[in-house]
Structure 1
Amino acid sequence: MQGASEPIHWWQTRWFVALATLIACVPLLYPDIAPIVDLPGHMGRYRVQLDRGAHPWLADWYKFEWSLIGNLGVDLLIEPLAPLIGLEPAVKLIVTAIPALTVAGLLLIAREVHGRVPPTALFALPLAYGYPFQFGFVNFALSMALALCLFALWLRMARRGAIVARAIVFVPLSCLLWVVHTFGWGVLGVLAFSAEMIRQHDRRKTRESGHWIESWVRAGLGCVPLALPMVLMVAWRSGADVTGQTADFFYWRTKIAWVLMALRDRWLWFDVASMAVIYLVLFKAARDPRIAYSRHLGLSALFILAVYILLPRIVFGSAYADMRLAPFLLAFAIIAIRPRMGATIRHAAIWATLGLAFFLVRIGAQTVSYARFDRDYKVELAALDHVPVGARLLSFVGHNCRNTWKMSRLEHLPALALERRLAYTDDQWSMAGGQLLTTRYEAAGGFAHDPTQLVTPGRCRGEWWRPVNYALARFPRAAFDYVWLIRPPRFDPRFMPDLTLVWRSPYSNSALYRVDRSIAPPVATDEQLGIPRYIVEFMRRRREALIRSGAIGR
């Protein structure tokens, strides 16, 4: 910890922490809707949440019931904000706050542990826009941002000796954090336990033996105020309607991939180079005699690493559970670094300048990236001007079997038809106990919910995404009024004779069609659609297996 007598440098001042927090908001200021993958889908759910009583057809299509689950962060904030400023501005305000809170939390933790913000901590700030945030896991991201800020408060109250007050305050705070998202509460518990271990050990380090075991026990007792949400967790997961499997342990290839692409966004070369900078900082810190590691944050990083290794890919039906931790694991490894006592100001200033440059370059690139994705959104959303309010809309979004670096961010764009036009869309998640909303539109059959909106040129091995020709030929005509193709792969018009063109994008191959029931629908065999019978049977069996496991709803 730096001495209080040392002068405060520019990167350690309160105004810099405030400025860095504001800079983190910049990429999200221009887009009307943050172009992160799952967010439009969540916005569709928010519309049903807010307006289901005013529009009876929404209740015919979707079942929405409030329940106490560990995944309600943005859903609850929308309730007071949307009536005041509108749904889309409310979502933008909340989502914009997430990277800001993340940056503030990292800097506050670094200041509490080191006494001053170390110059190397600036290299961790771009991780606020890590890969999980790009996926649109907004409740998770909000809970992690809050967990960082609450951990800083936990450390501050311990430093001031307010242990009893901390215990009282963190009982309700831990429950609120669990409601935002279970993941944030769990991570706060891991961080608090690691910090308590060090604190208890330092208080008893003069004893010759047994102090580590005693420190573990006392650290556990110190974290008891965080334990009440365990009761809520048991009540949630033991509900009669709860589904969702936990599976895919120890997928080493993907675990290694997540930590190598924690900054994945648009440009492969740029994002990989940015990750190389982070790993170079960690490597340099390990070899530079002028740099040391904090025991507090070093142990926290090791604990997070252990959780990352042990976490499966799917937890309670939510995919990418382990991936979500990767940016935070790296962030804690970075903020654990600090200059040793006696290091020159010039040496520290160089690190701070390079860290600030890295942060600003990443923020600038993220701003450009989001502006370009926003342009794509505006191009495609022009179709909604031709969709009547309350229409039954089936959407097919072009996808591919390759895991391309730049995700299109269009995967859940159809949900904005639900949000803006109160139309039925087939991209909502339907998992009892995991979301407040499930689909109930039985006429849609196998085209009712996510991921039926994704179509591919051909069958993808190990997936049940439908080939585009198969989807166009086989969807239930009686259940839908319109079909919205969003940058679909090449398809055969023979399989859509009863679809009348309503709108076509001048900038892409997207189009909106009306279902004309006066024209006979196509009659095509699986062979004509290029789908062997054994593949159709495979897709049917895989879908049923996913339903039985709880990975998807019916």
Structure 2
Amino acid sequence: MQGDKLHWWQTRWFVVVAALAAAIPLLRPEIPPLVDLLGHMGRYRVQLAIGDNPWLYQWFDFRWQLIGNLGIDLLIIPLAPIFGLELAVKLIVMAIPVLTVAGLLWIAREVHGRIPATALFALPLAYSYPFQFGFVNFALSIALSFVLFALWLRLGRLGKFRFRAILFVPLSCLLWLCHTFGWGVLGVLAFSAEMIRQHDLRKGGRDGRDGGGHWLEAWVRAGLSCLPLALPMVLMIVWRSGEHVTGQTADWFNWQAKINWVLMILRDRWQFWDIASAFVLFAILIKGFRDARIEYSRNLGLSALFLLAVYIALPRIVFGSAYADMRLAPFALAIAVIALRPKRGLSLRGATTLAAIGLAFFGARLVGTTISYWHYAEQFDRTLTALDKVPMRARLVTMIGRRCYDDWAYSRLEHVPGIAMVRRMAYMNDQWSMAGAQLLTARYRAAGRFAHDPSQIVTDRRCRGEWWRPIAWSLPLIPRDAFDYVWIVNAPKFDPALVAGFTPIWHDGDDTLYRIDDRTQPPLPADLPMRRPVQPFLKGASSAR
């Protein structure tokens, strides 16, 4: 880490190349194959088109409001007229892993003085499970929080504390506006870094002079230093105390789920490969404790411990938003990995070997993700050809088949109805509808039980503890006067008599598009529960996606 010569993994050109390489998996797919993103894209289309197409108010209520979850919703406004909605979304999503990689390497450089070889092992976490799930506003805010934390450290290193305080007042507000979680992560990182800095100042630095330092005093001074980041607390209070805000906080200390989230930090398509890759990261962290030639930075080590504490304390559901704790797991691990650095006992050859292995690991994960996304893109292309048969402004009810248990490799099609809105301005029944939690809510009363998420999810049987309906229940429940077409994707097996009165106009494998020709409502199944379910606390009822 010392000396005038920079090694290849410490140079600016390496940072630029590594960051740009992180976008490679997203080059092929026309639509990034992220589970929730397709549903978000449907909302973006409504957002952009409702002013010129007031008939959309028959289906949706769209109201701008100040909430901590508006990242891409705002960015799409200037970019969509230039690139078109789909390309604009793709470009923004491609920027997320680029910013994540750049931010991690910049943080490592600011903390350690040089980028340590071990930092390269953290780079695959740019494609962590929360990103794969399509939590795009969240993922963008985390990427930005890393970049802003690096800037925070740099300005502190240069002694520009007053300028930093002024600058980070608006920056923290913009980050909160992108997503609340990113602002929270920035606050944790900045506070822990300031604690170490203030403690060292009180001790007179690392030369051992005793300046009367005390951790409690460092804690107080760190809090005062981070006051420029506190203004979004006011915005948070205004948002969460709104008249129409809904959602509960529940499922505390679900240890089994928390352990699973850690194992799934790199979940994509191949279970063995993804879990083995996670264990590579665990092995690197263990090496930091066992290898006398490697140590942890106190600055980032404390940050990782704080993030771990937040991960443990967070419930699974926060204000109706599910998977709240899961989102933090990969990034707490990323900070822990970049906290590692070599001691003087590690030779140049040893450091170069570590860097080469880290680069190979990053490259292997990129190749795997690229292949995986290529397959998902082909699946999307086949499925979305059905929309060629759907006229503009059609009323479309979609049923996406899935199993009761989670497949490791998601089909990524749970919110494919959103693309029907993007391309055909057709009604879609997959939108999250929670007043006060997002800008769009469903108001198409004629749709009945098929107004919003998770009505688009169907199974071959009733799933214990889930709100998804078996397809044998869903098909007879469709209010035929309210819809024009039925689009079944990944269909579970069902009795053909259930689609009597529907005319198939497109078919591919397990996917079929039907036109509703007979409006006569069929009798309801005898085993159908008569109680109408309320909005569940599932990922569909999420304010933070």
TM-score (norm 1): 0.95
Cα shift at 1:464: 1.4
- How far residue 394 of structure 1 moved from its aligned partner, in angstroms, is 0.2
CA distance in 2, matches of 1:243, 1:47: 24
Deviation at residue 522 of structure 1 after TM alignment: 2.2
- Which residue of the partner structure matches residue 498 of structure 1? 501
Partners of 1:295 and 1:525 in 2: how far apart? 63
C-alpha offsets along residues 167-207 of structure 1, whole Å, 9 cap, x if unaligned? 00000000000000000000100000000000000001244
Pair 47,545 (structure 1): closer, same or farther in 2 beyond 3 Å: closer
Cα distance in structure 1, aligned partners of 2:535 and 2:40: 25
Q: What CA distance in whole angstroms lies between the structure 1 residues aligned with 2:57 and 2:521? A: 29
SS of 1:478's equivalent in the other structure is coil
Paired position in structure 1 for 2:125: 127
| Shift, 1:521, TM fit | 3.4
Structure 2: distance between partners of 1:37 and 1:351? 34
The code of the aligned residue for 1:58 comes to L
Counterpart CA distance in 2 for 1:264 and 1:327 is 11
In the alignment, the residues of structure 1 paired with residue 536 and residue 460 of structure 2 have an alpha-carbon distance, to the nearest angstrom, of: 24
How far does the alpha carbon of each residue in 1:325-371 deviate from its partner, in whole angstroms, 9 at most, with x for none? Answer: 01101101110001102421000000000000000000000000001
Q: Give the secondary structure class of the aligned counterpart of 2:341.
A: strand
Which of 315, 327, 333 pairs up with 2:318? Answer: 315
Work out which of the residue numbers 34, 38, 41 in structure 1 matches 2:39: 41
Which SS does the other structure have where 1:262 is aligned? coil
* CA-CA distance at 1:493 after TM superposition: 1.2
The C-alpha deviation readout for 1:15-62, integer Å capped at 9, x for no partner, is 000000010000001110000000010000000000112223211101
Q: For 1:6-405, list aligned pairs within 5 A.
A: 6-205=4-203, 206-207=209-210, 211-405=214-408
Alignment of 1:440-455 (within 5 A): 440-455=443-458
Is this contact kept in 2: 1:57–1:390, CA < 8 A?
no
Q: 2-side partners of 1:385 and 1:511: how far apart?
A: 13
Q: CA deviation at 1:551?
A: 6.9
Residue 436 in structure 1 maps to residue 439 in structure 2: yes
Q: Is the CA contact 1:21–1:103 (under 8 Å) kept in the aligned structure 2?
A: yes
Moved over 6 A (4+): none
Aligned to 2:472: 469
Contact 1:313–1:320, Cα closer than 8 Å, also in 2: yes
Would the aligned equivalents of 1:62 and 1:437 in 2 still touch at CA under 8 Å? yes
SS of the residue corresponding to residue 184 of structure 1 reads helix
Q: 2:498 matched to 1:543?
A: no
Quote how far apart the aligned CAs of 1:524 are.
3.9
Q: Which residue of 2 aligns with 1:511?
A: 512
For 1:339 and 1:384, how far apart are their aligned partners in 2? 55
For the residues of structure 2 that align with 1:388 and 1:544, how far apart are their CA atoms? 30
Distance 1:237 1:514 in 2: 43
What CA distance in whole angstroms lies between the structure 1 residues aligned with 2:535 and 2:93?
35
Unaligned runs of 5+ in 1: none
Residue 209 of structure 1 and its aligned partner are, at CA, apart by: 5.5
* CA deviation profile, 1:68-127 (whole Å, cap 9, x unmatched): 110000000000000111001100000000000000000000000000000000000000
**Structure 1 residue 545: deviation in Å?**
6.9
Q: 1:337 to 1:546 in 2, by over 3 A?
A: closer
User: Per-residue displacement from partner, 1:403-448 (whole Å, max 9, x unpaired)?
Assistant: 1111110000111001110000100110112110000000011110
* 1:201/1:215 contact within 8 Å kept: yes
Please give the alpha-carbon distance, in whole angstroms, between the structure 2 residues aligned to 1:49 and 1:545.
25
Residue type of the partner of 1:163? F
3-state SS of paired residue (1:484): strand
Equivalent AA in structure 1 for residue 477 of structure 2: R
Secondary structure in 1 matching 2:534: helix
Return the offset for 1:208. 7.0
* Structure 2 counterpart SS, 1:59: helix
- The more displaced of 24-33 and 491-500 is 491-500
Write the letter of the residue equivalent to 2:489: I
CA distance in 1: counterparts of 2:425 and 2:526, whole angstroms = 34
1:261 and 1:64 map into 2 onto residues whose CA distance is 35
Any conservation in 1 of the 2:321–2:537 contact (CA below 8 Å)?
A: no
Q: Is the 8 A contact 2:201 2:213 kept in 1?
A: no
Partner of 1:525: 525
Counterpart secondary structure, 1:503: strand
Aligned residue type for 2:466: E
Aligned equivalents of 2:353 and 2:419: distance in 1? 46
Determine if contact 1:245/1:315 at 8 Å carries over to the other structure: yes
| 278-287 or 246-255, larger mean C-alpha shift | 278-287
Cα offset, 1:513, TM superposition: 0.5
Partners of 1:18 and 1:466 lie apart in 2 by: 48
Q: Distance in 1 between matches of 2:542 and 2:234?
A: 24
Shift of 1:517: 2.9
What is the one-letter code of the residue matched to 2:194?
A: E
Letter in 1 for 2:46: V
SS at match of 1:479: coil
What does the per-residue CA deviation read over 1:378-411, in whole Å, with 9 as the maximum and x for residues that have no partner? 0000100000100000000001111111111000
Asked if the contact 2:109/2:115 (under 8 Å) is kept, the reply is yes
* Aligned-pair CA distance for 1:243: 1.0
Identity across the alignment (%): 62
State how far apart, in whole Å, the 1-side matches of 2:364 and 2:537 are.
Answer: 42
